[in-house]
Amino acid sequence: MTALPRSTEKKLGLVVDLDTCVGCHACVTACKGWNDQGYGAPLSDQNPYGADPSGTFLNRVHSYSVQPEEGFAQTINFPRSCLHCEDAPCVTVCPTGASYKRAEDGIVLVNEDACIGCGLCSWACPYGAREMDADAGVMKKCTLCVDRIYNETLPEEDREPACVRTCPTGARHFGDFADPDSKVSRLSAARGGYALMPEMGTKPVNRYLPPRKKDRPQEASLLAPLLDIKASGFAGWLDRVLGKMG
Amino acid sequence: MGQPRVETQRPVSDEVRKTTCYMCACRCGINVHLNSGKVTYIEGNRDHPVNKGVLCAKGASGIMQVTAPSRLRAPLRRVGPRGSGAFEEISWDEALSLAVDWLKPLREEAPEKLAFFTGRDQSQSFTGWWAQQFGTPNYAAHGGFCSVNMAAAGIYTIGGAFWEFGQPDWAHTKLFVMFGVAEDHDSNPIKIGLGKLKARGARVIGINPIRTGYNAVADDWLGITPGTDGLLILSLIHCLLAAGKIDLDYLARWTNAPLLVNEAEGPEKGLILKNAESQPFVIDKRTGMPAPWDGAGVQPDLGAVWQGHRTVFQHMAERYLDEQYAPEAVEARVGIPAARIRALAAELARVAFDEAFELPVEWTDFRGDRHKTMLGRPVSFHAMRGISAHSNGFQTARALHLLQIVLGTVEVPGGYRLKPPYPKPVEAHPTPHFVAAAGKPLSGPHLGYVRGPENLALKEDGTPWRIDKAFTWENPFSAHGLMHMVIPNAHAGDPYKVDTLFLYMANMSWNSSMNSARVMEMLTDKGEDGEYVIPRIIYSDAYASEMVAYADLILPDTTYLERHDCISLLDRPISEPDAAGDAIRWPVVEADRDVRGFQSVLLDLGVRLGLPGMTNPDGTAKFRDYADYIVNHQRRPGVGPLIGFRGDGTAEGRGDPNPDQLQRYIENGGFYQAHVPEGAEYYKPWNAAYQDWAVATSFYESPQPYLFSIWSEPMRKFQLAAEGQGFIQPPDHLRAQLKLAMDPLPLWYPPFGEDAAAGYPVHALTQRPMAMYHSWGSQNAWLRQIHGKNYLYLPTKIWEAEGFAEGDYARVTSPTGEIVVPVAHMAALNADTVWTWNAIGKRKGAWALDEGAPEATEGFLLNHLISELLPEKGDGHRWSNSDPVTGQAAWFDLRVKIARVGPRDHSEPSFPVLPRVVPKGRARG
């Protein structure tokens, strides 16, 4: 059993805007590219050119069909990665202390030197956010790009997670949820940001912005015809429409 | 226990090199990070105008492209039967000598015997110039099967197209409507723009049979029946006209609506009425008398009738006010209830007119009239292949431009804005050049814009000059050629036989052809003399694609990080509405194989052939390589491939070659921008300040103001010919088609082949996935984990009616083919439409993938269901499955029937394993 900090100074996390995410997977491979050469072991691939390719990804996008009771069916694109929970079961279940939540910023990390690859944390995570790297035999997960966000060798504007930096639609936002005035806190408050599966009691830090209501009934502002064209004929229409020109 | 110390200050790399992505046609700027000379990380370039730092899934996986095991390693010569994969490695000297042996006699005797077609070529202004120097009329790139309808309809109507040649005014638009837009062109800029709209809560409407991607985030979705977009658009125009919700001032000032249509019977009927000086004119409301169309202070009268001739406006209004375009008359056909059509028209009108606004920017128009402000209408549109890949696509794209025009939303704040060098009218483009003469270069560029029958590429006996029959009565405005007809026509010897087929980045034996299986046969067929019907095939590619096995000589290209390229204003630049832009690629790493950039190889070949333009009088090379050409080639004096850092390094647009130009581009992040001056950002076709800047920046030699063509005179000229007017006459069997399709006003007709499709009630479409593009990325180790297998997505109606279950396959039958493929259910889909991701399916053995790769076992192409020809009509003619105006391949006209076959483990048809030209990929590079 590993202990969680009683509280963290910051609560760093992501806002993912489901109204804006088009499901392009840019965040998926930007994450793969950064973390393949970043924190800890590379993100390996097995049989990359084979019949059954697989590999380690810290962030994946799923698309779901949703059929509302009324109206047209919809497609929701749903990026999935670690939510950096305040009550992270993946940490408390860890037998070696490898899985931990940082006291200063709340990031949940795996200390790969201490990880024995038992996989308990992955079973404990209700969100499926951890992946065991088959080559390295250690558990991999979103680090919030801990090696970017504090990295003073990067320009200041680049000190954000790779997935946020690359997102073409700007559907991903990074910040401190402990600060009620931060961009992410305000955005989440304004757009009804919600935590995934709060009933699990994990208190996720990340927030998802719900899709705005779609296919709303149009206002009854049907265009009024200028005049009865059938009665007035084309010449009548022409006089009327050009008369508007003044 | 204390927390572990985490290293957070590690430098990413020891060097960053900035170049241009090549994972699709977006051409984003990328920062390539190197450690000890090895590429370790790729991210978007924040300063770059196209992507502003972001990068898509493909771009961020570029590192896997550079290390792919499918990279070709050395020149190859075929030593066994074609298609057997028996090749031997040869030296470059041997390869080029062989090519010269084949090509030199052709140039000296019959240059048209070389057919040179390039696929996803991003150097068309260069490859076209090379073909011009060779003297063959047979050159084009892949636009004919991609989206020439989109390009040509835009040029002929507003002087610029959708695609990446313009974009909505993202900063001001409040309502954005997409027709048939999947996530390819213009990928990252549209995603960035959508993000901006979403951030400020602007409305987005998606009109598409399939609700994925951009359409998934649209606030409203209209799941239209494929092929009926034109009818919907004309119905919207009907509603707007009937309600008087049209921008009369815009129509009168900036379009040919006030010009008069000649009503006199005879050879000029339906042409724009001209005065004694052959100039069109308008009737000035102030005097009721004729006045110059471009005269200062003239107030054109849209309602004028002069000597019995009526204005374009009246012809237009009369046509679309007809009840055949009423929502109630079209709703069943388009699959959208009349009330929704009316509501959409009302919303367009409300936002365009009730939410109009003014920018406090003074400007002067080409007539000399001064304007205190710029009026904005915050409605914008974008459209792509969903409307253009139909046999009615040209007219549908024109209809959409007409809708923009009547709303007054093109080139205004809040509307659709063109990117320099556009706007540019048809008149500012070349006409096609095609007359081949032994040993001579062609007199001008191959591809151009036809003004009338006199520009057709027809010999005196009426037969086509070009192997693809571009610029003929079958498809007069085929401005991008017809790549999909090259192999079938060459095989049929119609209009003549060729000797050498020379292809670059064109996967014609697989996903870049209709009817792929038949094309494979055409490539290997032998005549009675035992020789191949297509005698010689030279192919250049960087990867072991499906096409490689069918070539006789392989010229291996580099990957995108190992080469020079220029993204030129002479071709398809990377401009923004507020700035002309161009860019380069440069070798940020050296190739570790015996491969060469194709453009440098072409120059070498050109010198060996003694081609003018690239050979000095003493026979030596004028350009060392492509990089040298980029810097020193001049298309016109002072105008070269790149506009930046010319002359002494400060000249922009025009100036002498600067030997330091490429270095200056590299220092500038790989690109250059020339900014549109203040006051010239909008109303560009008519804005004197913009026109002057465009001349200074080298787009044209004199100002080119013009009126938008609601009434297309070039089209009417073809209709006149079809009616029997004029000396140049079409063959009789094409008269009816020309009369219909070359209507000078936009119209809708059912997609061709509907009669033959009576027993095939379901529409079948393909879309590009955002994380995969053509086959360029298909062997990418990361991307294939995202899209390694494609399903045919079935709507609920078909899924339930046929009793499909998860894991099932379906038999999909079209009038010309049959496939058996895995299916999946998708609710957010037009009820009579099925679709799949494009080009995921691979041939076994290609791309260095395992024979058991899901792309090759379960993955599939719809191409097998589509023929390049329509079903025979019994009249002895080969009717192309293409748009009759432009020749664009009508992929999306496909109709099928679906039957459940239950669980299977592989798709059909299944082809033999392609012999390997590179070893099977094992570990990641």
CA R_g for chain A: 25
Q: For B360-390, what is each residue's pLDDT tens digit?
A: 999 999 999 999 999 999 999 999 999 999 9
Of A64-68, B321-325, B853-857, give the lowest mean pLDDT range: A64-68
* Other residues' Cβ atoms within 10 Å of the Cβ of residue B919: 11
pLDDT value, residue B624: 98
Structure tokens, B814: 């079209």
Q: Model confidence over B659-711: pLDDT tens digits? A: 999 999 999 999 999 999 999 999 999 999 999 999 999 999 999 999 999 99
Per DSSP, B6 falls in state -
Interface test with B, best of A166, A183, A219 (most B CBs within 10 A): A166
Query: Under CATH, which architecture does the B762-903 domain have?
Result: Beta Barrel (2.40)
The Cβ-side half-sphere exposure at B283, using a 13 Å CA radius, reads 19
Instruction: Using alpha carbons, list the distances in angstroms from residue B815 to B758, B766, B809.
Output: 9, 18, 20
Tell me the chain B residues in contact with residue A242 when contact means C-beta distances shorter than 8 Å. Answer: 248, 302-303
CA–CA dist B34, B66 (Å, integer): 13
The span from the CA of B259 to the CA of B309, in Å, is 10
Q: Is residue A221 part of a domain?
A: no
Tell me if domain B76-149+427-561 and domain B762-903 are identical in fold.
no
Q: Cβ B57–A111 below 8 Å, yes or no?
A: no
B853 contacts in chain A (CB < 8 Å): 49-51, 53
Spatial separation of the C-alpha atoms in residues B672 and B644, rounded to whole Å? 6
Question: Using one digit for the tens of pLDDT, what is the confidence trace for B80-123?
Answer: 999 998 999 999 999 999 999 999 999 999 999 999 999 888 89
Cβ-based contacts of B212 with chain A (< 8 Å): 23, 63, 75
Contact A226 B243 (CB under 8 A): yes
* Contact: A223, B195; criterion CB under 8 Å: no
- Of B369, B129, B79, B100, the C-alpha closest to B249 is B369
The predicted pLDDT at position B883 comes to 97
Q: Is A216 on the interface with B (CB under 8 A)?
A: yes
Q: Do A22 and B213 touch (CB under 8 A)?
A: yes
- The reply to whether A57 touches chain B by the CB within 8 Å rule is yes
Phi, psi of B586 (to 5 degrees): -145, 155
Give me the CATH number covering residue A127: 3.30.70.20
Within-domain flag for A217: no
Q: Which amino acid is at B475?
A: N
Distance, CA of B598 to CA of B843 (rounded, Å): 25
Domain with A103 in it: 12-209
DSSP B701: S
Q: What is the mean pLDDT of each run of 10 residues along chain A (246 residues)?
A: 90 98 98 97 97 97 90 94 98 97 98 97 97 98 98 98 98 98 98 96 98 73 74 87 69
Whole-angstrom distance between the N-terminal and C-terminal Cα of chain A? 82
Nearest to B508 by CA among B8, B66, B115: B115
pLDDT the model gives residue B469: 97
DSSP β-ladder status, B536-541 and B553-556: parallel
Q: What is the pLDDT, as a whole number, of residue A105?
A: 98
Counting one residue from chain A and one from chain B, the pairs whose CB atoms sit within 8 A come to 276
The pLDDT score that the predictor gives to residue A225 is 76
Neighbours of B713 (CB within 10 A): 19
How many whole angstroms separate alpha carbon B170 and alpha carbon B186?
Answer: 14
Which residue in chain B has the smallest CA separation from A102? B3
Residues of B in contact with A211 (CB under 8 A): 217
Which residue of A22, A35, A184, A244 to mutate against B (max B Cβ within 10 Å)?
A22
Q: Where are the domains of chain B?
A: 76-149+427-561, 162-260+317-421, 762-903
pLDDT the model gives residue A244: 60
Q: Identify the pLDDT of residue A246.
A: 41
Residue B401 three-state SS: helix
Distance (Å) from the C-alpha of residue A198 to the closest C-alpha of chain B? 25
Instruction: Looking at the complex, report in whole angstroms how far the Cα of residue A192 sits from the nearest Cα belonging to chain B.
Output: 14
Higher pLDDT among residues B925 and A172, named by residue: A172
Structure token digits, residue B58: 């493909």
Question: Which residues lie below 8 Å from residue B605, measured CB to CB, with a gap of 6+?
Answer: B96, B99, B100, B103
Q: Check CB contact under 8 Å for B782 and A30.
A: no
> What is the rounded CA–CA span in Å between residue B169 and residue B147?
23
Q: Does A78 touch chain B (CB under 8 A)?
A: no
| Residue B592 banded pLDDT, cuts 50, 70, 90 | very high
User: Over the stretch B169-208, which tens digit does the pLDDT of each residue have?
Assistant: 999 999 999 999 988 778 999 999 999 999 999 999 999 9
CA B97/CA A139 separation, integer angstroms: 56
Task: Answer yes or no: are the C-beta atoms of B211 and A67 closer than 8 Å.
Answer: no
Q: Is residue A181 part of a domain?
A: yes
The pLDDT assigned to A220 comes to 55
Closest Cα of chain A to B788: distance in Å?
Answer: 9
B854 touches chain A (CB under 8 A): yes
DSSP-derived secondary structure letter, B274: B
d(CA B570, CA B599): 16
Q: Is A62 on the interface with B (CB under 8 A)?
A: no
Query: pLDDT tens digit string along B516-536?
Result: 999 999 999 999 999 999 999
Is A2 among the domain residues?
no
Largest CA distance in chain B: 98
- Strand B357-359 versus strand B374-376 pairing type: antiparallel
Considering only the top CATH level, what class is B162-260+317-421? alpha beta
Which residues of chain A from 103 to 132 reach within 8 Å of chain B, CB to CB?
103, 109, 111, 113-114
Tokens 């658009």 locate to B233
Tens digit of each residue's pLDDT (9 = 90 or more) over B414-432: 999 999 999 999 999 999 9
Phi, psi of B273 (to 5 degrees): -65, 135
A169–B198: do the CB atoms touch at under 8 Å? Answer: yes
Chain B environment of A110 (Cβ under 8 Å): none
Q: Chain B within 8 Å of A223 (Cβ-Cβ)?
A: yes
What value of ipTM does the predicted structure carry? 0.96
Phi, psi of A244, deg, nearest 5: -65, -20
For an interface test with B, which of A24, A74, A107, A131 has the most B Cβ atoms less than 10 Å from its Cβ? A24
Q: Is B52 on the interface with A (CB under 8 A)?
A: no
pLDDT tens for residues B559-591?
999 999 999 999 989 999 999 999 999 999 999
- Structure pTM? 0.97
A243 in contact with B, Cβ within 8 Å:
no
Does residue A200 belong to any structural domain of this protein? yes
C-alpha distance across the termini of chain B, in Å: 40
Q: Are B248 and B413 in contact (CB under 8 A)?
A: no
> Got the DSSP string for A120-175?
HHHHH-TT---EE-TTT-SEE---TTHHHHT-TTS-GGG-S-HHHHH-TT--EEEE
Cβ contact, residue pair A49, B221, below 8 Å: no
Fold held by B76-149+427-561: Rossmann fold (3.40.50)
**How many domains is chain A partitioned into structurally?**
1
Q: What per-residue confidence (pLDDT) applies to A1?
A: 64
CB contacts of B349 in chain A (<8 Å) are 223
- Cis previous bond, B81, omega within 30: no
Can you tell me which residue has the tokens 């951890």?
A: A130
- The string of pLDDT tens digits covering residues B742-801 is 999 999 999 997 877 889 999 999 998 899 876 566 689 999 999 999 999 999 999 999
Listed by number, the residues of chain A in 196-215 with a beta carbon closer than 8 Å to a beta carbon of chain B are: 211-212, 214-215
Burial (CB < 10 A; 0-12, 13-18, 19+), residue A186, is middle
d(CA B114, CA B138): 7
**How many whole angstroms separate alpha carbon A200 and alpha carbon A129?**
15
Nearest Cα of chain A lies from the Cα of B236 at a distance, in angstroms, of 11
Which positions 770-829 of B are in contact with A (Cβ < 8 Å)? 770-771, 779, 781-786, 788, 796, 825-829
Measure CB to CB from residue A221 to each of B219, B223, B350 and give the nearest one: B350
Cα-flanking dihedrals φ and ψ of residue B253, to 5°?
A: -85, -40
pLDDT digits (tens, 9 = 90+) for B502-521: 999 999 999 999 999 999 99
- Residues of chain B found within 8 Å of residue A20, distances taken between Cβ atoms: 194-195, 198-199, 217
- A4, A121 contact by CB (below 8 A): no
Phi and psi based region of residue B699 (left: phi greater than 0; alpha: psi -120 to 50; beta: remaining): alpha
The DSSP code sequence of A218-238 is: PPS-PPPPSS-HHHHHHHHHH
**Residue B23 with chain A: CB contacts under 8 Å:** none
Mean pLDDT score across all residues of chain B: 96
Question: What is the helix (H) or strand (E) element at residue B166, kind and residue range?
Answer: strand B166-168
